[in-house]
Amino acid sequence: MATFLARAYVPTIDMAGIEPVVTVDVGDRRPTVGHPTGIAVAVTDVDGIPLPGARLELVVDGELRDIAIADGDGRATFTLDRPTGPANEGGYDSIQVQVATTDVVSRPTGVFWQPDESRRITISVSPDSSHSGKVRTITAQVVDGNTPMAGRTVELHIDGTLAGRAPTDDDGTATFTLRKQVHGPFDLAKVVLVGDRSVASNEVLISWPLSTRGVHGSNDWEIVWRDEFGGTSLDASKWRAINNCPPVYLACDTDRPENVEVSDGLLRLRSLREPYAGTNKWTGSGSQFGPLTSFTEGDFLQRDFTAGRVDSTRDFTYGRYELLGKLPQGHGTFFAFWMRPRNSEYGNDAAGGEIDIAEGANIGRGGNRRGQIDAQLPGDGWGVHHVVHMGYPFTNPFTLTNLPVNPAESFHLYAVEWDTASIRFYVDDERVLTVPQSDWFSHPRDDEEPVENPYAPFDQPFFIVINNTIGNWALETWPGNQVPDTTVFPAEFVVDYIRVYECRPPAGTSVPGPGQGCETP
């Protein structure tokens, strides 16, 4: 449990020693946000006799705010436009009432807010900072002394972003269910009690060190690179948005915010149906899915769709790579979370190697790996595949994961672990494919000898690619390779986070080879 004690503020009355005596009564009311506070005033002379008709002035934080005339009993009421309490908590530091009647003299009578050590509000949060396993829910309980505070609003902030708002129940408890399947959870979480401006502190911080996250059944995975997309634009130090019209797709990738957007802690890669003229020219070579009948060599490529793609600026060799996201859906849509070498000594394309951590097409439209209708797929085609490309001719060890729910409507964790022993693929922490090192090879061309290095081509630095586009083999079986009108745009690939880990076993631990020692079962 992580707990904080919050000091409450109660009024103390500064009685004027000069007649007439002005008494300021705020009673036992505890002001709350959204409910103005009434200040009741009674004016009497030295003998305690009410002074009807006295002119009373309300001064708030040194500024005249209101005037009232005492009634027949010498009483008046002032209503504040926001709650009383310390200014740094959204209220007022000082409230003064003074008599301004011409034949009566008085000093101001003030109400100043001071800590009440007898009142303690506690927020207890579970799990606390000592937690090192998975977290999917965070629970907060708010107690005033020994009394649970029911019906209060509590906010959860994670890594500086509002992640949820929930009311407390009869036990003073609020529960947050996270969309993230968190592994050894966040850097920093903050639980805030909203609406009690009379408490000196209304939040509790919980910090989970990344280096001791204890993820995936091993404490030896250490995060070395990540993006939680907490800003308002793509982090140029980590990513490069691509501008290109690749011949293998029916969409032009652009770096416009319409196609690549960061907001609300998410990266959104959008495919749109719109005409777009690219900046690159058709060379007359390369594969092409979809018609290009109106183009000749040297023409600028034009498309009826736009798309989003980002490449990491950093390269990696070995480790664990994770993406938490929701996939695009619709016939003709194609997404991928993959890795490839920027410059491989073994050559281009499959000879240099490619790791498709998760890719797919036609989600929710009955599409399998080649766009065909497959009655074996649940839910109209909720399949995601995982592929390793290597060698020449193109060799593609792959598997298809049939998710039990639509991956376009919920977040799922897609991951790969890569070391010198194997390449292992996971969906929601369940292993779905293993490609052992003994199956790796690189063969640049038919007329060349295979590379003798047994770790080729997967001993090179690779960079990360995330893209959401239209076409490729998503339309191979659709008449005319056209996107049907039933496909709804924009089609979004929504990414919650990307995280990269290195395997760092304790010093002195014997491991068979580089990157090994942290394998997730």
- Domain map of the chain by residue range? 17-107, 118-214, 223-232+309-488+496-503
Pick the CATH number of 223-232+309-488+496-503 from 1.10.510.10, 2.60.40.1930, 2.60.120.200, 1.10.357.10: 2.60.120.200
d(CA 77, CA 386): 72
Is residue 397 within 8 A of residue 352, CB to CB? The reply is no
The pair of structure tokens assigned to 374 is: 């497959």
Which residues partner with 225 through β-bridges? 500
What pLDDT digit, counting tens, does each position of 294-331 carry? 444 555 567 889 999 999 999 999 999 999 999 998 88
d(CA 91, CA 97): 17
| Buried-state track 276-315, b at ≥16 Cβ within 10 A, e below 16 | bebeeebeeeeebbbeeeebeeeeebebbbbbbbbbbeee
What pLDDT digit, counting tens, does each position of 106-135 carry? 445 554 444 444 445 677 777 655 554 455
The yes-or-no answer to whether 118-214 and 223-232+309-488+496-503 have a common fold is no
Q: Which pLDDT score, from 0 to 100, does residue 382 have?
A: 66
Nearest to 406 by CA among 381, 374, 427: 381
Q: Is residue 15 very low, low, confident or very high in pLDDT (cuts 50, 70, 90)?
A: very low
> Does CATH place domain 17-107 in 2.60.40.10?
yes
- Return mean pLDDT, the chain: 72
Which residues partner with 153 through β-bridges? 167, 194
> In this structure, what is the dihedral angle of CA atoms 359, 360, 364, 365, given to the nearest 10 degrees?
170
Kindly report the backbone phi and psi dihedral angles of residue 24, in degrees, each rounded to the nearest multiple of 5, phi listed first. Answer: -115, 120
Q: Which pLDDT score, from 0 to 100, does residue 4 have?
A: 41
What pLDDT digit, counting tens, does each position of 206-221 carry? 654 443 333 444 557 8
d(CA 133, CA 131): 6
Is residue 433 within 8 A of residue 424, CB to CB? The reply is yes
Amino acid identity, position 32: T
Q: Which pLDDT score, from 0 to 100, does residue 17 have?
A: 41
Indicate if the pLDDT at residue 287 is higher than 70: no
Coil vs helix vs strand at 389: strand
Please indicate whether residue 124 or residue 474 has the higher confidence score (pLDDT). 124
Total residues found in the chain within this entry: 521
What pLDDT digit, counting tens, does each position of 402-447 carry? 776 778 888 888 999 999 999 999 988 889 899 999 988 887 766 6
Q: Which pLDDT score, from 0 to 100, does residue 91 have?
A: 62
The full DSSP string for 425-449 is EEETTEEEEEEEGGG------TTSP
Amino acid identity, position 252: C
For the whole model, what pTM was predicted? 0.63
CA triple 502-504-506, angle to 5 deg: 170
The CATH code that applies to domain 118-214 is 2.60.40.10
Q: Which pLDDT score, from 0 to 100, does residue 286 have?
A: 42
Which residues partner with 134 through β-bridges? 183
